[in-house]
Amino acid sequence: MDENIAQKLRNVKTAVETLKICQNDLLSLNTNAATVVKFMQKGWHLPRPDLIISVTGGAKNFDMSTRLRKIFQSGLVSAAITTNAWLITAGTNAGVVKEVGEALNKYRYKNRKNGVDVPCIGIGSWGYTTGNEQLDCQSTTFSTDASTTKEISPSIRHRLNKITHSTRLNNDDQYAVRYYTVKEKQKKRCDLEPHHTHFLLFDDGQPNADTLLPLRAEIEKYCRNTSIDTATDGAVESLIPIVMVLVEGGLSSIRTICEALDSNTPVVVIKESGRAADLIAELHTCYTESENSKDNVYSTRLQTGLAKSGSKETKINKILTNAQAAITGLHEVIDNLCRVLNEHKQLVTIFKFDSKRHHGNLEGAILESLFNAAKFSDDHIERNR
């Protein structure tokens, strides 16, 4: 294909993505998560998923072997297609999120005739987004109502009301929107990954992506809630299953994983992707190998600075010591990480691409994690009877 034609096609796609971004760039960080999900449902009309896959990990570019990258990309998309899933990421064009975007782009190119796509939702920071002034659009295709906007801050509500009453774009107009292009990188900011289907951008006045972590967790929680109409009982509330996939990552990723496990969300860890993922994989091995042990390994480690007697404790302390050079601030989360891995080890699935357990099949690891989560939930209910 001629490079000029290819570039024009990429620009058209970016323009359409920009339209979707403009629909969702006016949310306050204080907006209630339930309100955000209602906003998504009314504006986007996304079909109900059967699974939510939340991807977290390295926010910067990192080294991953070519083979592992290929297996991760193909396996993630295959799992999403097979299970009718939504993908949720941080939306930035770097690190693991960039890998997700490239995976979707490859899938769409190979399957461009069948019209099947995977909803991929980026939840990001307005202030952290490079070139966000390009996204301050004044016409969109969604509508909302007073119940949706009442919890949004007054300064933002005025702008949202202008958008609410704007003219609906027709199909021809969709290709006339402004392009979102990033000509040069900005320090402490990141551009949006261009292959996502939707974005939610939140403005707290700060160029910091980490402030969104608690809100993203709440949004994912409320995305799981759904009601199904039945002929006999009317609307029945049910929870959509969710799984988190960890690739590489640092301190923020560890905090995210701890919150997920405390919420009984299963986690698939991509071993050999680096840093946080490798640390958790090694610790998980220690805890599962001694599952029947009554030793309380995670307590008071930081206070004493000394390993207890016994090979398991010594090994865990050595793993943590080695990881501190690669993960800044690890000491802040060590106790909590060890606690959740000890208490929720059954919810963690380690994926190693060359292991005999999964035979390089990430989709199988994701499905296994869902099975383990269901079993963990049943066991928990049984113990509390």
pLDDT tens digit string along 241-261? 999 999 999 999 999 999 999
pLDDT of amino acid 304? 39
- Residue 145 pLDDT exceeds 70: no
pLDDT digits (tens, 9 = 90+) for 332-341: 999 999 999 9
pLDDT digits (tens, 9 = 90+) for 175-188: 333 456 776 777 77
The Cα-based distances of 74 to 2, 77, 119, 190, 362 in angstroms read 27, 5, 16, 25, 8
246 beta partners? 56, 269
130: nearest Cα among 170, 187, 82: 187
Write out the two tokens for 260: 């997920």
pLDDT of amino acid 357? 86
What angle, 0 to 180 degrees and rounded to 10, lies between the N-to-C axes of helices 275-289 and 334-343? 50
- CA 325, 327, 330 angle in degrees (round to 5)? 100
Most confident of 31-35, 155-159, 165-169, 365-369: 365-369
- CA 281, 104, 14 angle in degrees (round to 5)? 130
Q: What is the Cα–Cα distance from 238 to 380, expressed in whole angstroms?
A: 19
Average pLDDT over residues 64-75: 92
Give the DSSP letter string of 245-307: EEES--HHHHHHHHHHHHTT--EEEETTS-HHHHHHHHHHHHHHHTTT-----STTHHHH--P
pLDDT of amino acid 232? 54
202 beta partners? 27, 125
Q: What is the Cα–Cα distance from 209 to 60, expressed in whole angstroms?
A: 12
pLDDT of amino acid 154? 39
Most confident of 93-97, 153-157, 375-379: 93-97
- Residue 7 pLDDT exceeds 80: no
Mean pLDDT score of the chain, rounded to an integer? 77
How many of the other CB atoms lie within 10 Å of CB of 314? 12
Percent of the chain with pLDDT over 90: 44
- Residue 219 pLDDT exceeds 60: yes
Most confident of 21-30, 50-59, 152-161, 163-172: 50-59
Unique residue bearing structure tokens 């980026």: 122
Q: Categorize the per-residue pLDDT at 60 as very low, low, confident or very high, splitting at 50, 70 and 90.
A: confident
pLDDT of amino acid 380? 62
- Residue 147 pLDDT exceeds 50: no
Q: Categorize the per-residue pLDDT at 165 as very low, low, confident or very high, splitting at 50, 70 and 90.
A: very low
Q: What is the Cα–Cα distance from 103 to 70, expressed in whole angstroms?
A: 9
Percent of the chain with pLDDT over 70: 70
Per the model's pLDDT, the better-predicted residue between 179 and 304 turns out to be 179
pLDDT of amino acid 16? 37
Q: Categorize the per-residue pLDDT at 131 as very low, low, confident or very high, splitting at 50, 70 and 90.
A: confident
pLDDT of amino acid 8? 38
Q: Which residues lie closer than 8 Å to 371 by C-beta, 6 or more apart?
A: none
Beta carbons of 247 and 96 less than 8 angstroms apart:
yes
Q: What is the Cα–Cα distance from 135 to 53, expressed in whole angstroms?
A: 27
Average pLDDT over residues 279-303: 69
